[in-house]
Chain A
Amino acid sequence: MQAFDYVRANSIAEAVMALSDPSTRCLAGGTNLVDLMKGDVEAPRRLVDITRLPLADVALAPDGGLRIGALVRNSDLANHRAVRERYPLLSRALLAGASPQLRNMATVGGNLMQRTRCYYFTDVAFGACNKRRPGSGCAAREGYNRIHAILGASPQCVATHPSDMCVALAALDGAVELRSAKGVRTVSLASFHRLPGTTPNRDTNVASDELITAVLLPPPRFGARVDYLKIRDRTSYAFALVSVAAGIAITDGRVTDARVVLGGVAHKPWRAEAAERTLVGSPLSADAIRAAADAAVAGAEPLRDNAFKVELARRAVARALRNAGAVA
C-alpha cells in the first residue's frame, strides 16, 4: 500500500471541503477501497475519514418513501424494520452480498461506489486495463472472461458492476443525493452508474468533489411481489454470475407495472425495459414470463467464456418473475 495522508472529517462541510482536492478520496467502510489500496490498484494521496458524519440514519420521507443516509451500514439497512417490511427486495439483495463481517463495515455510499471484480482490473500485474490505465487495452476481452459482461460492453471494457444492493435500488427507482461546494443534486440510480464506452475509467457520473449523502426511495410499489435471485459459484460469500431483481404489480389478474433489473451482466445494474414492457397488460402466464425472459437477454453479446450467462440470465429472469408472482 502506498503511503497516504489521513484526516477525519468532523462535519459534512469539512468533508466537502476536503474533497475539493481531487487527490482526496472518502474512507467509509473501507471494504473495497482499502482492499484495492493493498493491491496498488488505488493509491489516493489523502483519505478523508467520513465515518463519524451524521449520515447513518434511515428516515421515513414525507412522501411515504425512505431516506437512507450514505453511511448506513449494509447490515443495519438490511435489518431496518421499515426496509424488511416495506422494501424486502432491498433487504434480500443486501443479505445476498459479501459476509456478515463485511456487511457490518460496508456503507450504502461505498456500495454505490464499489469497483468491478474483473481480475485484470484488480491485479496490477496485468498491464492492459483501460479502467485502471486508460488507453492500455483490455486484457479481459481476449483473456479468461467467464465472469464478464454480456450486455452493454464496449471494445474498451467488458467489466461488470459487482453490487447486489444497486440492482435492487435500481428496481426500486432509487435516487442518490450528492453534495459538493456547488450545492446539492439528485441522480437517479439508472443514471448513476455508466456504461463503459470509451471511458471505462469512469464507473459513475459522480464528480470527484461530490459527497454521497443519501439514497432516496419512493414509496414501495410492489409490496411483497418482489424477488432477488442471485446465482453464483457457491451459495454464500461470492459475487453474482447473474442476479435479478424483479417487482410486479398485479390488478384484476393483469400485470400493471413491472421492474426487471439484472446484476452481474453489465457495467451497471441492467434494467431490462423490454422485458417489463412485455409483461405489462397481460396476466403473468408462463408464456408471458418466457417472452419477458427472452426480451431481457435480447441483444446479448457473450464473450469466449461467458456464453452460459445468456441462458443463465434468461432462466434467472423467468424464475425471479415466477417467485415474485407466486406471492399472495
Chain B
Amino acid sequence: MRNPDDHAGSDLPSGRREATPTTPDAANGAANELSDAGSARRRFIVGSGALTGGIAAARYATAAPAPRTGATSTGVAGTRPVALSVNARDYVVAIEPRVTLLDALRESLGLTGTKKGCDRGQCGACTVLVNGRRVNSCLTLAMSCEGDKITTVEGLGDGEALHAMQQAFITNDGFQCGYCTPGQLCSAVALMSELRAGDASAVTRDIAKTGPADVSDDELRERMSGNICRCGAYAGIVAALRQVIDHG
C-alpha cells in the first residue's frame, strides 16, 4: 500500500475503502497468484485491520514532525502519541507502552505486509529493518523506536519497481504460501549489507580474517536461519539470494 495512513485514517468507520496495492503483491505474499476471491479476502483483512486497530491512530496518523519525548512517563496503561518513521514517512500513533512494533505497523498503520507468525521471536515472519538492521518486530516495543528509521516489506521496492530481491524470489520460487515471505525478504536484503560489511557467521571458517564474507550456500543458509519457512521453500530462497549476489 502506498498510503497506509489513508487506510488507517480515512473512510472510517466503513473501513471498506479498497486497498490499491502499488507494491506488487508477489512481494507481500504472492497475492498476484491468488484468485479474485483471494484478492477480496486480502482487501477484507486490510480493512479489518484498519477497523480494529486503526481507530485510535486515525486522529493521529499525520505526516507531522515527530515531537521528542525525553523521559516523559506514560502512566500505567495510558496511551501516548508516539512518532514513528516508516518507509520514509512520518506518523504519529497513540499507543500503550506494551504495543509491539509489529502490532503498531499492522494495526495502527495498516501496514499488513509484515506478518505475525509466532509472535515470540522464534520464526522471523515479523522481520523488519530498523536503521537498516534486521530485527524481530514482535519483540520490539514500538515506543522504543522513536527516532529510528523503520523499513517494512512495503518500503523495499521503489514505487512500482520491485526490489531486486523481491524479483529474485519470484524468479526462483522462493515461496509457496507466502506468509513468511515479507520477513524473508527483509532478512535477505539486510543479509546483503552484512555480507558487504564483511560480517562473520557461525559457519565462517576463519573468524579472525576480516574483509568480504564468503558466500557459500552453507553461509547463506546459516545467515537466513532466523526465518522459518513452513512450506520448505528454502532451496528457492537460497537460489534467490545467489542470483542477487551474482547479478545484483
Where the two chains meet, the residues of A that have a C-beta atom closer than 8 Å to any C-beta of B are 1-10, 14, 27, 30-31, 34-35, 37-39, 45-47, 49, 51, 75, 78-79, 81, 84-85, 88, 91-92, 95-96, 98-102, 104-105, 224, 236-237
Whether a CB of chain A sits under 8 angstroms from the CB of B202 is yes
Nearest opposing residue in chain A for B133, CB measure = A104
- Flag if A236 contacts B208 (CB, 8 Å): no
Asked if B141 and A27 make an inter-chain contact with CB atoms under 8 angstroms apart, the answer reads: yes
Q: A38-B120, A84-B208, A88-B207 given as contacts; is B74 within 8 A of A102 (CB)? A: no
Q: Chain B residues with Cβ under 8 A from A2's Cβ?
A: 98
User: Are A101 and B143 in contact, CB atoms less than 8 angstroms apart?
Assistant: no
In the docked arrangement, what's the CA distance between A173 and B96, Å? 42
The contact sample of 29 A-B pairs, CB cut-off 8 A, is: A2-B98, A5-B73, A5-B74, A6-B73, A6-B143, A7-B74, A9-B71, A10-B70, A10-B71, A30-B144, A31-B121, A34-B100, A35-B120, A39-B120, A49-B143, A49-B144, A51-B144, A78-B200, A84-B207, A92-B202, A95-B200, A95-B204, A98-B226, A99-B124, A99-B225, A100-B225, A102-B136, A104-B134, A236-B221
Asked whether B90 is an interface residue with its Cβ less than 8 Å from the other chain, the reply is: no
The main secondary structure of chain B at its interface with chain A is loop
Whether B120 pairs with A236 at a CB distance below 8 angstroms is no
Closest 3 CB pairs of A and B: A99-B226, A6-B97, A3-B77
Contact B208 A35 (CB under 8 A): no
Chain A min CB distance to B55 (Å): 19
Report the bound CA distance from A224 to B205 in whole Å.
13
Known A-B contacts A3-B76, A45-B76; A95 and B144 likewise in contact (beta carbons under 8 Å): no
Task: Indicate with 1 or 0, residue by residue over B90-105, a CB within 8 angstroms of chain A CB atoms.
Answer: 0000001110100000
- Complex: how many Å from CA A273 to CA B156? 52
Contact code string B109-140 (vs A, CB < 8 Å = 1, else 0): 00000000001110010010000011110011
Question: Given that A3-B76, A237-B225 are known contacts, is A31 also in contact with B71, CB under 8 Å in the complex?
Answer: no
| B207 & A4 in contact (Cβ 8 Å cutoff) | no
Contact B136 A101 (CB under 8 A): yes
B6 at interface (Cβ–Cβ under 8 A)? no
Residues of B with C-beta under 8 A to A6? 73-74, 97, 141, 143
**B52 adjacent to chain A (CB < 8 Å):** no
A30 touches B141 (CB 8 A): yes
Q: How many residues of B are counted as interface, with CB atoms below 8 angstroms from the partner's CB atoms?
A: 48
Task: Judge whether A4 and B121 touch: CB under 8 Å.
Answer: no
Closest approach, in angstroms, between the C-beta of A87 and any C-beta of chain B? Answer: 10
Q: Which residues of A contact B144 (CB under 8 A)?
A: 8, 27, 30, 49, 51
Please measure, in the bound complex, the distance between the C-alpha atom of A34 and the C-alpha atom of B144, giving whole angstroms.
12
Q: Which residues of A contact B200 (CB under 8 A)?
A: 78-79, 84, 91, 95
A226: nearest chain-B partner, CB-CB: B207
Asked if B139 and A7 make an inter-chain contact with CB atoms under 8 angstroms apart, the answer reads no
Cα-based distance from A49 to B135 in the complex (angstroms): 17
- For B139, give its contact among A34, A46, A84, A96 (CB under 8 Å): A34
Minimal beta-carbon separation of B101 from chain A (angstroms): 10
Q: Is residue B199 contacting chain A, with contact meaning CB distance below 8 A?
A: yes
> B194: CB under 8 A from chain A?
yes
Q: Which residues of B contact A49 (CB under 8 A)?
A: 141, 143-144
Is B35 close to A, CB under 8 A?
no
Please state if B76 and A95 are interface contacts (CB–CB under 8 Å).
no
Cβ–Cβ contact A100 & B119, under 8 A: no
B-chain residues with CB within 8 Å of residue A95 when the two chains form the complex: 200-202, 204, 207
Of the candidates A46, A85, A104, the one having the most CB atoms from chain B within 10 angstroms of its own CB is A104
Q: A79-B197, A102-B139 are in contact. List 5 more A-B contacts (CB 8 A).
A: A7-B74, A88-B207, A101-B121, A101-B135, A104-B134
Taking CB atoms, residues of chain A closer than 8 Å to B74 are 5-7
What per-residue 1/0 map shows which CB atoms of B174-199 lie under 8 Å from chain A?
00000000000001001100100111
Contact B76 A100 (CB under 8 A): no
Is the CB–CB distance between A30 and B202 below 8 Å? no
* Most central of A34, A38, A46 by chain B CB within 10 Å: A34
Q: Are B76 and A4 interface neighbours, CB within 8 A?
A: yes
Residues of A with C-beta under 8 A to B77: 3
Using Cβ atoms and an 8 Å threshold, which residues of chain B touch A5?
Answer: 73-76, 97
Specify which chain B residues have a CB less than 8 angstroms from the CB of A47 in the assembled complex. Answer: 97, 141
Residues of A within 8 A of B208 (CB): 84-85, 88, 224
Q: For A84, what are the chain B residues with a Cβ–Cβ distance below 8 Å?
A: 200, 207-208, 210
Asked if B223 is at the interface of the complex by the 8 Å CB criterion, the answer is: yes
Quick one: which of B206-227 are within 8 Å of A by CB? Answer: 207-208, 210, 221-223, 225-227
A35–B96 CA distance with the chains assembled, in angstroms: 17
Q: Is B20 an interface residue (CB 8 A)?
A: no
**Least Cβ distance of A100 to chain B in Å?**
5
Roughly how many angstroms separate A49 CA and B146 CA in the complex, as a whole number?
Answer: 11
A residues within 8 A CB of B202? 92, 95-96, 236
Q: A6-B97, A30-B144, A95-B202 are in contact. Are A237 and B226 (CB under 8 A)?
A: yes
**Chain A residues within 8 Å of B124, by CB:** 99, 101
Residue of A nearest to B75 (CB): A5
Instruction: State the CA gap A4–B194 with chains docked (Å).
Output: 35
**Closest residue on chain B to residue A223 by CB atoms:** B208
Neighbouring A residues of B194 by C-beta, 8 Å: 100
- Please, how many angstroms separate the alpha-carbon atoms of A89 and B146 in the complex? 35
Most buried by B among A9, A75, A101: A101
